Amino acid sequence: MDSLDIVRGVAIIGTLATNIWVFSHPWGLIGMLSAPTLPGESASAAQLVLMALAQGKFLALLSLTFGVGLAFQHRSAVRHHRRWPGRYLWRAALLFLDGAVNYILIAEFDVLMGYAVTAAVVSFLLLTRPRAQRAMILVFGGIHVALISLIVLALTTMPGANADGTLPDGSSPYADSSFLGLVGFRLDNAVIFRAEPVLIGFLSLAMFLTGAALLRAGVFAEEGARLRRRLMIAGACAAPVDLVLGLTSTPAGLLLERYVAAPIVGLGLLGLLIELCHRRGTNGWWARRAREIGRVALSAYLLQNLLGGALFYGWGLGWAETFAAWRAPVTVTAFVVITVVVATAAYLWLRRFSTGPIEWLWRAAADLGSRRTSAAVDSVPS
């Protein structure tokens, strides 16, 4: 489905628009959590706006597309009378492995490991009736909102719980460590860095199931215009609240923005992008570039993270430390450069191959694992 590839491609580049600010911070993810803008940064207001425009929306959009893709695979299994989830669990395990490699070697804010666990759980939930799935969306979403609300309450009422906007003392490992040094740093701090997938576990379940439910409801179909319009209205209503929360530049505001308001905006983006595909087609220049990135989404995601580290970390060009005083323009420039490189790579690769390099390895390993599993089952005496 071309429109799904386009939405997925936009989501992938959108995650870069969020993560690029993590790469450009001299203290990386630790610095973003404690002080999103650097002391004395001249363009802090503009930076907060740019960060708020991307924060959490495209993560939600990516979660929705994962749910849609999972529902497509479930449909295919049912249509071909294959056992479900069956071989899909092996695919989820391989996705977890991809995420582990990305986390250890490239970026500590990897989402693939969490998505793999969520996909495995949702694969079983898709066996239930649609009405039960709709109820689970409400339950999981309610638990998530309650959890975030409790954390925000703690941050705003407990003395010393909120960050004070200061950076840690000493030198930053992102600026001074080698490539292998950062690998060790991520492994040593795995409990902290892997906290987000746990924190948003219920949100991910709700978003995956929502993507599957929207597919059943016809959000991609021509007759789904009314549903898409409702999604866009909901997103438009949530967008101003999201922006205000982002401009607070506090951990409490960031939590509410990224994990409560942004998912609603993500639903609006989904409706808007699909509607644009219906009205303007999927063969325009911009649509083709987004579609190509969407077709090699896993490869593009890993490549853009690797390029971000190469530009900003000490083992690469070290831009985060060198251009700290010019962080906003350098970060925007890096985002544009990486996007162009990723889009060009996707275009050139798909001229010769039908799928991305990481996708090819992933599917080859999944097919091999499925064949071995089937052979093992067939060899068991009845």
Provide the residue-wise pLDDT of the chain in tens; the chain has 382 residues. Answer: 899 999 999 999 999 999 999 999 998 888 887 777 776 665 577 788 888 889 999 999 999 999 999 999 999 999 999 999 988 999 899 999 999 999 999 999 899 999 999 999 999 999 999 999 999 999 999 999 999 999 999 888 875 555 555 666 678 899 889 999 999 999 999 998 999 899 999 999 999 999 999 999 999 999 999 999 999 999 999 999 999 998 887 788 889 999 999 999 999 999 999 999 999 999 999 999 999 999 999 999 999 999 999 999 999 999 999 998 888 899 999 999 999 999 999 999 999 998 899 888 877 887 776 566 555 434 444 3
Domain range annotation of the chain: 2-6+8-374
| CA quadruple 136, 139, 145, 146: dihedral sign | negative
CA-wise closest residue to 67 among 199, 210, 228: 210
Task: Determine the Cα–Cα distance for residues 10 and 287; give it in Å rounded to an integer.
Answer: 9
Q: How many helices (H) and strands (E) does the chain have?
A: 20, 0
| Closest alpha carbon to 69 in 288, 222, 268, 295 | 295
Identify whether the C-beta of residue 291 lies closer than 8 Å to the C-beta of residue 314: no
Burial 33-56 (b: 16+ CB within 10 A, else e): ebbbbbeebebbeebbebbbbbbb
Vertex 246: Cα angle to 244 and 252 (nearest 5): 105
Rounded Cα–Cα distance for residues 131 and 326 (Å) = 52
Q: What is the DSSP string of 246-310?
A: HHT-SHHHHHHIIIIIHHHHHHHHHHHHHHHHHHH-S-SHHHHHHHHHHHTHHHHHHHHHHHHHH
Give me the amino acid identity at 105.
L
